[in-house]
Amino acid sequence: MIARILATAIIELHIARRNLWVVIAVGLMVVFSLVLSAVGSAPIGELGADRLSVTVASLTSLSVYLVPLVALLMSFDAVAGEAERGTLPLLLTYPVARWEVLAGKLLAHCAILIIALVAGYGAAAAIAIVNDPAAMSGIGALWRLTWTSSLLGATFLGIGYALSSLARRTSGAAGLAIGLWLGSVVLYDLALLAAVVADNGGSFTKNVFPAALLANPADAFRLFNLTASQAGGVAVGIGGAAGTIPQWQSLMSILLWPVFALWLASAAFRKVEP
């Protein structure tokens, strides 16, 4: 079982390396992290927080958009691509379980994502620490951001595999992935904000809104990091709600989402008839 998962992971790493996914993912994370850390260094004097914590707060806002995007871009092709290339029927006649195939792909894609995260966050952190030696005190926040980003990535990889299985065609899977990304990280928050404004402090804001934030893996990720961060004050919008939701709840959402997404993926893949 382990050997088959590893074999699949190795072959996926070969493919990702040749398709330049590793370069693209790392490049995206590094460039955006550096840009944000340059922009995000402005409010430092007023807050009195260490520079790295401020950088982490900026990176959190960046990762909410970028990590799901990179994860979906890597995963939308996973099943639909194999089906379209015609490689899926042969693979499924091998003595390998479908979940093992997905686990192998997940392992490879997670590895690439983690490399990209470490490179991006590392570059931003290095700049913060070089400019402000006191920034070392924010290293805990950076570590927290890194592992939660990895879990967020795993969630969207799983969702991407599920979409890929449901769509059967890469064009359809790509459309679904982009739609899901827009919906979950952009429109979802806008809709919630609009509802909160319209509700004007009523029962929606008190009861439904916190649950709605926790139900979205991207929002739960942002909540958790901002609740934990000392520099939560620099966050705006949804982040303002961070104080009202206990940290353990957002943590549970972060931990449960990858499990649910992978269950979803494997259920959808099981239904694929090559």
Partner 1 sequence: MTSTLTISNLTKDFGGVKALSEVSMHVAPGERVALLGHNGAGKSTMMKVILGLIAADSGEVSVCGAAPGDADARSKVAYLPENAMFHSALTGLEQISYYMRLRGEDSAGAMALLDKVGLGAAAKRRIGTYSKGMRQRVGLAQALIGHPRLLVLDEPTSGLDPVSRRDFYELLDALAAEGAAILLSSHALTEVEARTDRLLILSRGRMVAEGSLAELRRDAALPVAMHITAINGYDADILAAIPNAIRVNDAVHVTCSQDEKLATLAQVAAMKGKIADIEVIPPSLEDIYSHFSRRDGQ
| Smaller CB separation from partner 1, 90 or 187 | 90
| Smaller CB separation from partner 1, 14 or 169 | 14
Nearest CA to 153 among 29, 27, 48?
29
How many Cα atoms occupy the beta-carbon half-sphere of 174 within 13 Å? Answer: 5
| Smaller CB separation from partner 1, 11 or 198 | 11
| Smaller CB separation from partner 1, 96 or 118 | 96
CA distances from 165 to 30, 69, 216, 266, 268 (A): 31, 18, 22, 9, 6
Q: How far is the CB of 10 from partner 1 (least distance, A)?
A: 7
Q: How far is the CB of 17 from partner 1 (least distance, A)?
A: 9
Q: Phi-psi bin for 189: left (phi > 0), alpha (psi -120 to 50), beta?
A: alpha
Alpha-carbon torsion 36, 41, 44, 45, what sign? negative
Structure tokens belonging to residue 211: 């649950």
Q: How far is the CB of 130 from partner 1 (least distance, A)?
A: 38
- Helices and strands (H, E) in the chain, number of each type: 14, 0
Q: How far is the CB of 14 from partner 1 (least distance, A)?
A: 6
Q: How far is the CB of 92 from partner 1 (least distance, A)?
A: 6
| Smaller CB separation from partner 1, 16 or 151 | 16
- Which residues in this chain contact partner 1 in the complex, by CB under 8 A? 3-4, 6-8, 10-11, 14-15, 18-19, 85-87, 89-90, 92-97, 273-274
